[in-house]
Structures are given as structure tokens and as C-alpha cells.
Amino acid sequence: MMNVALTTESPTARQFATGVVRGTPLFDAIRERGGDVDAISAALEHALQRECGDHPMRAPMRAIVVEAR
């Protein structure tokens, strides 16, 4: 097992936030709980802009790589 440091990049924080909120199972979880998908997406966008920039947005990521033999 190995940890790998990566950087993710998106053209904008809005596009990344939209993908996370609307393009993953998180979307169904928010709706099932009566959450406001647009408000959550906007809040994530603003947090990403603040922490990771915008145009493009770049964020550190970590991958755990496991090899089976």
C-alpha cells in the first residue's frame, strides 16, 4: 500500500462543486434529507474558491494505491 499526493484541477470552483454535489451519490443523500441542492452546491463553491482558488481551481488530493498479486 502506498500514499500518493496528487493535485486535482477544474476550470472553475463552480464546475467542481457541481460535479461533487450533482454527479455523485451525495445528490440523492441531500434530496432524501430535504436539503437544498443548489444552496449546498453554492456553499461548496465558495469554500473551494476561498481555499483552492478559481479559474482554475486546484486542490491537493491523496490516493491510496493498493496492488494485489
pLDDT of residue 48: 97
pLDDT of residue 10: 97
Using an 8 Å Cβ cutoff, are 58 and 7 in contact?
yes
Report pLDDT digits (tens) over 13-41: 999 999 999 999 999 999 999 999 999 99
Mean pLDDT of 39-49: 98
pLDDT of residue 55: 94
- Running DSSP on this structure, what letter comes out for residue 51? H
Confidence of residue 51 (pLDDT cuts 50, 70, 90): very high
Task: Give the up-direction half-sphere exposure of residue 63: CA atoms within 13 A in the CB hemisphere.
Answer: 8
Mean pLDDT of 46-64: 96
